[in-house]
């Protein structure tokens, strides 16, 4: 997620595109074999060969109450940093996006050591996206001693800790929740700074992006929400005496392509996102509006609107209930969508 710079009011700069690796929900909705290690690596390697800018992993340490109610078998969530280490060994240029990591669940000194090491091993390909996490029950299950803690404050403190650990020789921190003294953490990351994105659509996430981070990662919103969020990020950045143009904008969406609209909708409908609890409540059409579902031409038109709204990077969760279906989606996107936007950089 280190795309070309764009301005607060929008840009026609080339978009970059990432692929979310299939590292979750195995054993529940998807077959247990869906996230066999060789298949996850296969997707990452092919994404690099097809010209995608980035591959990434989502983060859960424990299944949520919602997942337990929804599926009889527990979903298997691969740990993202370990997964990306395996990916780094089999790739050479594609960027590695960890997250959004649920930052309140991670001890910052150990996390900084892991991320800096992976940035070294990958020759500076790491991007770290962080958020407070959407599920309070997961946080309380993993850290019951902190069940009364404010996750937003905990997330902010952890970002401040990471910044110091990545750049200072000796680092100390004393906050409401995070405390350490005279830590000398080496090796440092290759990248200075190592990109940290604030993930989420809440005002707190947008504020962290403007005041502390290198980018904002929104989740399944439309161009108008991207434009409004960017303006809010810029306002917070200026108040913090930071340059708004240095803060990038990324978006996570679900991608379902088809030769016809009906085929794309049917692929989406059969996939995991269509069975999301929000889709059950709101109906499928509103859920479709917040994602990229349609023919390649329709998807390109929507991406043009996102580019005009100032989007720099898009991270796609491509549909597919098998690895072969997912790879077919990647190839279709690479053939018909990537060239429309990447050729602008030439």
**What digits encode the pLDDT tens for the residues 152-190?**
999 999 999 999 999 999 999 999 999 999 999 999 999
The DSSP code for 337 is: T
Rounded Cα distance between 326 and 323, Å, is: 5
Coarse DSSP helix, strand, coil percentages of the chain, rounded to the nearest 5 percent: 50, 20, 35
16-345 to CATH, choices 3.20.20.30, 3.40.50.920, 3.90.226.10, 3.40.50.1820: 3.20.20.30
Would you list the domain boundaries of the chain? 16-345
pLDDT on residue 16 = 96
Residue 123 pLDDT exceeds 70: yes
pLDDT on residue 148 = 86
Note the pTM of the prediction, 2 decimals: 0.89
* C-beta contacts of 200-204 below 8 A and 24+ residues apart: 200/100, 200/131, 200/132, 201/225, 201/229, 203/232, 204/132, 204/152, 204/155
Higher pLDDT, 21 or 28: 21
pLDDT on residue 14 = 77
Determine the average pLDDT of the residues in 261-273: 83
- The alpha carbon of residue 67 and the mean position of all alpha carbons in its chain are separated, in whole angstroms, by 20
């Amino acid at each position: 997620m280190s795309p070309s710079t764009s301005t607060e009011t929008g840009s026609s700069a080339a978009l970059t595109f990432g692929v979310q690796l299939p590292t979750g929900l195995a054993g529940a909705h998807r077959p247990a074999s869906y996230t066999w290690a060789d298949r996850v690596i296969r997707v990452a390697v092919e994404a690099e060969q097809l010209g995608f800018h980035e591959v990434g992993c989502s983060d859960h340490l424990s299944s949520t109450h919602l997942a337990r109610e929804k599926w009889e078998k527990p979903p298997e969530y691969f740990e993202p940093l370990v997964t990306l280490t395996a990916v780094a060994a089999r790739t050479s240029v594609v960027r590695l996006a960890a997250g959004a990591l649920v930052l309140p669940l991670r001890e910052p000194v150990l996390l900084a050591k892991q991320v800096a090491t992976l940035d070294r091993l990958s020759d500076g390909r790491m991007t770290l996206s962080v958020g407070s996490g959407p599920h309070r029950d997961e946080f309380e299950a993993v850290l019951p001693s902190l069940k009364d803690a404010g996750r937003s404050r905990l997330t902010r403190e952890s970002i401040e800790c990471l910044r110091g650990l990545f750049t200072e020789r000796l680092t100390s921190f004393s906050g409401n929740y995070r405390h350490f003294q005279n830590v000398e953490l080496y090796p440092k990351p290759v990248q200075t700074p190592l990109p940290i994105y604030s993930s989420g659509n809440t005002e707190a996430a947008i504020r962290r992006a403007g005041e502390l981070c290198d980018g904002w990662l929104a989740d399944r919103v439309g161009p108008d929400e991207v434009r409004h969020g960017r303006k809010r990020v810029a306002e917070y950045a200026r108040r913090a005496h930071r340059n708004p143009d240095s803060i990038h904008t990324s978006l996570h969406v679900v991608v379902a392509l088809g030769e016809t609209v009906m085929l794309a909708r049917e692929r989406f409908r059969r996939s995991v996102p269509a069975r999301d609890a929000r889709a059950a409540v709101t109906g499928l059409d509103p859920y479709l509006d917040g994602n990229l579902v349609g023919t390649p031409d329709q998807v390109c038109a929507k991406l043009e609107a996102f580019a005009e709204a100032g989007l720099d990077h898009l991270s796609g969760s491509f549909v597919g209930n098998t690895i072969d279906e997912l790879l077919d989606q990647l190839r279709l996107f690479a053939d018909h969508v990537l060239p429309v936007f990447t050729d602008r950089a030439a």
